[in-house]
């Protein structure tokens, strides 16, 4: 019997370093969005100087991607936080603008959440450095909640017992507050060492559907796998359902071997007209895969 809710695309990976126009080390953890008849992946690409840069690949059908010749023309850094490394963008469309919440890193352990926006994936404008020190996996909801912007984030404040998915609010994307933990260790939905938001939440009539990553610790390192949860539409700090089983896990070479072994990790999942969901995911911090499933089946698995 097949217990799988998600099906991996048979020609995965849809993107890998060999497909890039220049020699690079890794291509992974893309933000994904549909714009102007194309599927756009904003990928983490590690160049030979070991810096993660954002780089776009575009596709007409969502399966066959062509990378741009150069990385994204990123705006000048925030003068109070001169980032040296950018990765894991989540793309949220609000009105006619696309907001990228990404990890803005100075060096290991100094990461904060940056926000950059674009209207056309050609030119980009910096909005803010939007967190305190030690926060990432920022993920903006596609609409305001009670008049406030709302995001997931993942503060590092507790190294000994890592909390996980938090919710924070903002009137303007610059000043943030009212932070509270959503899912954390000790609650039934965490089975591993840590967890963090994954895809930008998807509004459904049953609640906000969130695909997230959960991290198990083994004697030889971490394993990153995906699960899903369902949050109250009016108050997304309330968990109303979650999957007991993993939705997606590393099992093939392209997911198991690379910069970080044994990782699947998503930033965006794209609902389709036919009720299916396309989850673009980083694999082993090296490749990019596509998995598809039926949204109503994922929701059923949460309840």
Out of 97, 143, 161, 235, point to the residue binding its own copies (CB under 8 A).
161
Q: Does 166 bind its own copies (CB under 8 A)?
A: yes
Per the CB < 8 A criterion, the answer to whether 256 and 262 are in contact is yes
Q: Does 84 bind its own copies (CB under 8 A)?
A: no
Restricted to residues 199-258, the positions that interact with its own copies (CB under 8 A) are: 237
Q: Please, what is the minimum distance in Å from the beta carbon of residue 72 to its own copies?
A: 24
Q: Which is nearer to its own copies, 161 or 232 (CB)?
A: 161
Out of 3, 23, 80, 273, point to the residue binding its own copies (CB under 8 A).
80
Q: Please, what is the minimum distance in Å from the beta carbon of residue 205 to its own copies?
A: 27
For 29, list phi and psi in degrees, rounded to 5: 40, 60
Q: Please, what is the minimum distance in Å from the beta carbon of residue 298 to its own copies?
A: 28
Out of 169, 189, 208, 254, point to the residue binding its own copies (CB under 8 A).
169
Q: Does 170 bind its own copies (CB under 8 A)?
A: yes
Q: How many CB atoms lie within 10 A of CB 41?
A: 28
Q: Does 176 bind its own copies (CB under 8 A)?
A: yes
Q: Please, what is the minimum distance in Å from the beta carbon of residue 195 to its own copies?
A: 14
- Cα 42 to Cα 28: distance, rounded to the nearest angstrom: 9
Per the CB < 8 A criterion, the answer to whether 302 and 242 are in contact is yes
Q: How far is CA 73 from CA 54, 56, 88, 111, 283, in A?
A: 9, 10, 16, 21, 25
Rounded to the nearest 10°, the torsion over CA 236, 237, 242, 248 is: 80
Out of 85, 130, 229, 263, point to the residue binding its own copies (CB under 8 A).
130
Q: How far is CA 118 from CA 127, 187, 267, in A?
A: 10, 37, 17
Out of 38, 83, 88, 153, point to the residue binding its own copies (CB under 8 A).
153
Q: Does 82 bind its own copies (CB under 8 A)?
A: no
For residue 77, the 8-state DSSP code is P
Per the CB < 8 A criterion, the answer to whether 159 and 173 are in contact is no
Partners of residue 152 on adjacent β-strands: 139, 167
Out of 6, 163, 215, 263, point to the residue binding its own copies (CB under 8 A).
163
- b/e 91-105 (16+ beta carbons within 10 angstroms → b): bbeeeeebbbbbbbb
Q: Please, what is the minimum distance in Å from the beta carbon of residue 165 to its own copies?
A: 12
281 exposed, middle or buried (CB, 10 Å; 0-12, 13-18, 19+)? buried
| Count of residues near its own copies by CB under 8 A | 38
Q: Which is nearer to its own copies, 86 or 168 (CB)?
A: 168
Q: Which is nearer to its own copies, 3 or 108 (CB)?
A: 108
Q: Does 171 bind its own copies (CB under 8 A)?
A: yes
Chain residues binding its own copies by CB under 8 A are 80-81, 108-112, 128-135, 153, 155-161, 163, 166, 168-171, 174-181, 237
């Amino acid at each position: 019997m097949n217990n799988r809710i998600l099906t991996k695309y048979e020609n995965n990976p849809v993107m890998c370093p060999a497909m890039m126009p220049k020699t690079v080390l890794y291509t992974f953890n893309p933000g994904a969005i549909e714009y102007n008849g194309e599927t756009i992946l904003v990928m983490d690409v590690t160049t030979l100087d070991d810096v993660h840069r954002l780089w776009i690949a575009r596709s007409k059908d969502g399966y066959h991607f062509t990378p741009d010749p150069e990385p994204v023309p990123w705006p000048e850094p925030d003068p109070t936080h001169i980032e040296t490394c950018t990765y894991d963008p989540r793309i949220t469309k609000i009105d006619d603008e696309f907001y990228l919440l990404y990890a803005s890193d100075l060096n290991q352990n100094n990461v904060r959440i940056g926000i950059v926006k674009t209207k056309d994936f050609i030119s980009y404008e910096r909005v803010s450095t939007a967190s305190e020190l030690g926060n990432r996996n920022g993920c903006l909801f596609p609409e305001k909640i009670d008049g406030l912007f709302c995001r997931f984030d993942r503060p590092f404040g507790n190294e000994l017992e890592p909390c996980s998915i938090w919710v924070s609010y903002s009137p303007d994307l610059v000043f943030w507050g009212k932070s509270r933990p959503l899912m954390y260790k000790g609650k039934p939905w965490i089975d591993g060492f840590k967890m963090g938001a994954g895809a930008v939440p998807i509004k459904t009539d049953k609640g906000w559907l969130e695909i997230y990553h959960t991290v198990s610790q083994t004697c030889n390192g971490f394993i990153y796998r995906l699960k899903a949860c369902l949050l109250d539409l009016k108050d997304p700090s309330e968990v109303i359902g979650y999957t007991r089983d993993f939705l997606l896990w590393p099992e093939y070479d392209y997911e198991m071997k690379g910069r970080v072994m044994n990782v699947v990790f998503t930033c965006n999942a794209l609902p389709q007209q036919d009720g299916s969901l396309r989850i673009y995911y980083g694999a082993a911090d090296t490749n990019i895969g596509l998995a598809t499933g039926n949204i109503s089946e994922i929701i059923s698995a949460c309840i």
